[in-house]
Amino acid sequence: MMISEELRRKILDDRALGAGNVLHRLPLHGRSLDEQALWLDGTWRAPSGDHPEVLTLGELHEVVATYAGYYRRKGVRAKDAVAIVTTSITDFALNLLALTSIGAVASLVNANMPQETRREYIRRQRVVGIMTREPWHKELQIHLEDDVAPAFVALQGEITPQDRAHRPETYPFRHAPNDPILISHSSGTTGIPKSAFHTHETLFHGALSRLSDGLDCSTRARLLALPGHHVSAMSNTLLGLLLGAPVIHYTDPSGKAVLDGIEKFRPTIVFGFTHTFMEMAGEDLSDRDLSCVEGFYASGDAAHVVHIKRLLEKGQHQVTGRDLKPRTAPGAIFLDIFGSTEMGYVLFDYVHRAGAPSLGRCIGRPMRFAEAAALSEDGAVLPPGQVGRLGVRSQSLTPGFWNDNVRWHQQWLGGYFLTGDLVYRDGGNNFYHLDRTTDAIRTADEVVYSAYTEELLLGEHEEIRDCTVVGLADEGVKFGWEDEGVAETYMLLNLVEGATAPKDPTAWVNEALTKHGLPAVKGAVIVGEDAIPVGITGKVLKRILRERARTLTAGD
């Protein structure tokens, strides 16, 4: 189902609407406060002390006003930044709604970030306060000793219904387009995460642009198994509320947990990062009831086709036949929606369907509101077929990194924002993702694109559940896309349960690689799933993996 044309027009005509005031504009569009809007997974505790399963729009207004009153009582004012340190997607969303309602900025911090990294990240933010829950409250007290210390390090459980009385008289805050509302950090796979902030306009620019084109108008239930600190989790929550689509918050992103969530909540659309879908594809799906699912939406990095294909066998989706009548076709669709924290909204999407030909690591064409290019090292736009840095332009882009202008300006080239990815495009302006610039490996012969190599190997051998290629070199030698050193490559393989391991993994891998003209690896090792470390968003931590690989491959 889609929103009515009348409501779509009302939304697009609402010039004051933006990411900072979605909840407060809904009554103006005829929405009932009795309407159920947000389904919860039990990770959020209400100010009353209970754990509701669902919130109506009216209850959302009450909670947001109560949280807003608490923050004003603690001295938070417009443009102040407050760090929200948790893992619950609902914690992040409700604190964001409350802080934006008084004009403040929510800095969303994944509590699973390594403690020392998290401390330095928050310290750089110069926040006026920190909101958290157990078990992180005690360790976060150390921020009270910072040179520029926050005024409070509070527990969310301290908020009571009485705090509603402290909300400001001028409530809600009236946002200008460039008012900051949210700070979201990158995955931090290469060190201290970047702190991209978004405004009332940038966080919702992509969603409203798509809505103006008559796209992304579905009112079907959506389960969000996205990292709660990420812009994709917050923008999809806000968009669901705006459209009147049931939003299901789901904090546990593991494959098995999300499969359980699908069977419990029966969503039509499932959002997650690629690692979640990889884990789902690795589970036994034969007895799983995923018939409710019409679409899997993978945000973040490009997904591997082999994982996508396993999920395409489940669910169903609507098509229009030659008789122009809608009908149900077997198999869900899989949307590879490529974006990042800094982009504010996905800028590419590519649809996979069961039985349709696959274009490998194709991420599709740029969306209408964005521009993209493969760039040379001097910022020139490269022609089709040449590999370069992915550069993008869009009004949805972050305006900068909070308190980090030097890092921000270093990420621009030739008038384009650099996403940190390596791509090429074809003659039809379809873009293909090869690797992250930090993960590409320069060898004595050529550059090895790790993601591209892993994709090919997964497609060759169905026994492989997941794999990752790493480069090893002498101490101090840097061998990435930007570096001049060289390394030798090793492949770490995690096999599906019950698969027979090859007698010579290295020969097995190299046979597949050389068949397709790719360089052979120095060695290949069978490892358990736990041997491949991933970060807080499920991305493989290759800087850590390189150290582990030295031990794992020592016998080669």
Among residues 377, 402, 435, the one where a domain terminates is: 435
Per-residue pLDDT of the chain (556 residues; tens, 9 = 90+): 789 999 999 999 999 999 999 999 999 998 999 999 999 999 999 999 999 999 999 999 999 999 999 999 999 999 999 999 999 999 999 999 999 999 999 999 999 999 999 999 999 999 999 999 999 999 999 999 999 999 999 999 999 999 999 999 999 999 999 999 999 998 765 578 999 999 999 999 999 999 999 888 899 999 999 999 999 999 999 999 999 999 999 999 999 999 999 999 999 999 999 889 988 988 889 999 999 999 999 886 656 677 788 888 888 888 877 777 888 888 899 988 888 889 988 899 888 888 776 667 888 999 999 999 999 999 999 999 999 999 999 999 999 999 999 999 999 999 999 999 999 999 999 999 999 998 999 999 899 999 899 988 988 888 888 888 989 998 889 898 988 899 999 998 988 888 888 999 999 999 999 999 999 999 998 988 777 666 665 566 666 676 666 766 665 5
**330-359 CB burial, b ≥16 within 10 A, e <16:** ebbbbbbbbbbbbbbbbbbbbebebeeeee
Residue type (1 letter), 380: A
Residue 469 lies in a domain: yes
466/430 same-domain check: no
Residue 333 lies in a domain: no
Residue 6 lies in a domain: no
Look at residues 306, 347, 355 and name the one whose alpha carbon lies nearest to residue 467. 306
> How do beta strands 333-338 and 348-352 pair?
antiparallel
- What is the CATH number for 517? 3.30.300.30
Residue 240 lies in a domain: no
Q: Are 267 and 315 in contact (CB under 8 A)?
A: no
In terms of residue numbers, what domain contains 465?
Answer: 438-552
Among residues 435, 454, 472, the one where a domain terminates is: 435
196/57 same-domain check: yes
394/485 same-domain check: no
131/180 same-domain check: yes
H helices within 102-195, ranges in order? 115-125, 137-140
Residue 14 lies in a domain: no
CA separation for the pair 140, 131 (Å, rounded): 10
91/167 same-domain check: yes
Q: Give the other-Cβ count within 10 Å of 324's Cβ.
A: 6
Overall number of domains in the chain = 3
Q: Are 346 and 299 in contact (CB under 8 A)?
A: yes
Question: Taking the CA atoms of the chain, what radius of gyration do you get in angstroms?
Answer: 24
CA separation for the pair 189, 535 (Å, rounded): 7
CA separation for the pair 84, 133 (Å, rounded): 9
424/544 same-domain check: no
Residue 238 lies in a domain: no
Where residue 259 falls (left for φ over 0; alpha for ψ -120 to 50; beta otherwise) is: alpha
Q: At what angle do helices 89-101 and 231-243 cross, to 10 degrees?
A: 70
Helix or strand or coil: residue 290? coil
- What is the CATH number for 410? 2.30.38.10
414/519 same-domain check: no
Output the CA torsion 440→445→446→450 (10° steps).
-40
Residue 18 lies in a domain: no
Backbone angles phi, psi at 262, to 5 degrees: -65, -45
462/392 same-domain check: no
443/480 same-domain check: yes
Q: Note the pLDDT of residue 455.
A: 86
**16-35 CB burial, b ≥16 within 10 A, e <16:** ebbbbbbbbbbeeeebeeee
Q: Note the pLDDT of residue 547.
A: 67
pLDDT tens readout for residues 235-260: 999 999 999 999 999 999 999 999 99
Residue 476 lies in a domain: yes
- What is the CATH number for 119? 3.40.50.12780
Tokens describing residue 341: 């924290």
519/404 same-domain check: no
Q: Note the pLDDT of residue 321.
A: 75
CA separation for the pair 4, 550 (Å, rounded): 58
CA separation for the pair 107, 99 (Å, rounded): 10
Look at residues 176, 107, 201, 202 and name the one whose alpha carbon lies nearest to residue 398. 202
Backbone angles phi, psi at 435, to 5 degrees: -175, 170
User: Bridge partners of 318?
Assistant: 328
pLDDT tens readout for residues 161-181: 999 999 999 999 999 999 999
Q: Note the pLDDT of residue 459.
A: 84
CA separation for the pair 396, 368 (Å, rounded): 12
**Number of alpha carbons in the 13 Å side-chain half-sphere of residue 432:** 19
Q: Note the pLDDT of residue 54.
A: 98
Q: Are 225 and 431 in contact (CB under 8 A)?
A: no
The H-or-E segment that residue 320 falls in is strand 316-320
430/447 same-domain check: no
Where residue 244 falls (left for φ over 0; alpha for ψ -120 to 50; beta otherwise) is: left
The DSSP letter of residue 113 is: S
465/426 same-domain check: no
Q: Note the pLDDT of residue 543.
A: 63
CA separation for the pair 335, 298 (Å, rounded): 6
Among residues 151, 184, 200, the one where a domain terminates is: 200
